[in-house]
Amino acid sequence: MPKLNMVQAINLGLAQEMARDDSVIVMGEDVGVDGGVFRVTDQLIEKFGAERVLDTPLAESAILGSAIGMALAGLRPVAEMQFSGFSYLMLAQWEGHASRYRARTLGQFTVPLVVRMPFGGGVRALEHHSESREAYYAHTPGSKVLIPSGPRNARALIVAAIRDPDPVVFMEPKHSYRAFREEVPEAEEVGKIGKAQLVQEGNDLTVISWGAMMRPTRKAVAAVTEQRGAGIEVIDLLTIAPMDAGAVVASVTKTGRCVVVQEAPRSFSVASEIIALLNDEALLYLEAPVKRLTGYDVVTPYFGREKSYIPTVGRIVRGIEETLDF
């Protein structure tokens, strides 16, 4: 099995789906000749031609809006927003059309499409290139929101997203793009949308995270486990919406303690929703407040300061310990 980084893994998934189904079209700014500014779509134009790998003009609303038209007419577009920070330009098309077409027509017209977008910080990038706003999309009914955390699940989930009958926001944690490699089988693997992954079992505390935060989370969990011998359960959410409530609730019902690690600002966020869910279904099992280790409710600082604003291994370790000791 080849060892791939996340960029290569998503590229593999895209290439395989394009080979399998000629209704799959890749489109966006610089996705063709340039292969994408992160090279996620590298070589696709050579393999599948400029009719299936569209270098579009610079207009995010048009990229999604025309992708919606393609999907209505039977194609399966995979559109890229060059950075999630520019995706708000297409939110009206997302909220108003992509997420609604099925409901509006009681299933007669559907828009199976994927919007891929790199998101998150930690790569010393310019303004607007470091935010995490998955909550916008997750709060929009009719949207599916996926966030892979590693090469293998990224490949499996991009395939699932492309085959899914619904519009999917596929948010790629750019900090993880080249951070590590995993074995990714050539053979087809199709992720399950709506399912979280139980990364590690434990009885004392549940840590829930997703995307780029999975790495510091795992390191922190390893450290705490080593230091204290605590049994920590780790959940990788993978699907943000519709969330795998069952997995979250089952775990915390068992452990009674929970820490959520997220890069996005704290308030009105995915972490908030996880807590609300636990309140609904597991309150009586909670032995400590659920801890939110998150970004702060400040305007994302330029990269000179960003590091301190993203949860670190040390902060996660302390958060877990405090929750264990509560």
Ligand X SMILES: Cc1ncc(C[n+]2csc(CCOP(=O)(O)OP(=O)(O)O)c2C)c(N)n1
Of 64-83, which residues contact ligand X (CB under 6 A)? Answer: 82
- The CB-nearest residue to ligand X is 86
Q: Is 144 in the site for another protein (CB under 8 A)?
A: yes
Mark 13-52 with x for binding to another protein (rule: CB under 8 A) and - for no binding: ------------x---xx-xxxx-x-------------xx
Three-state SS annotation for 240-298: EECCCHHHHHHHHHHHCCEEEEEEEECCCCHHHHHHHHHHHHHHHHCCCCCEEEEECCC
Q: Name the packing angle between helices 313-325 and 214-228 (round to 10°).
A: 50
Question: Among another protein, a second copy, ligand X, none, what binds residue 223 when CB lies within 5 to 8 Å by partner kind?
Answer: none
Using CB under 8 A as the binding criterion, the count of chain residues that bind a second copy stands at: 50
Q: Which parts of 12-51 interact with ligand X (CB under 6 A)?
A: 29
Closest CB to another protein among residues 4, 168: 168
Q: Is 305 in the site for a second copy (CB under 8 A)?
A: no
Q: Is 97 a catalytic residue?
A: no
Q: Which parts of 87-106 interact with ligand X (CB under 6 A)?
A: 89
Q: Which parts of 40-79 interact with a second copy (CB under 8 A)?
A: none
Give CA–CA dist 24/315, Å, rounded.
42
* 81 Cβ contact partners less than 8 Å away, ≥ 6 residues apart: 28, 60, 63, 87, 90, 115, 116, 117
* 233 Cβ contact partners less than 8 Å away, ≥ 6 residues apart: 198, 200, 201, 202, 203, 205, 206, 207, 251, 254, 255
Q: Is 86 in the site for a second copy (CB under 8 A)?
A: yes
User: Closest approach of Cβ 82 to ligand X, in Å?
Assistant: 5
Residue type, 46: E
Q: Please give the residue ranges that form the binding site for ligand X (CB under 6 A).
A: 29, 58, 60, 82, 86, 89
Question: Catalytic residue numbers?
Answer: 129
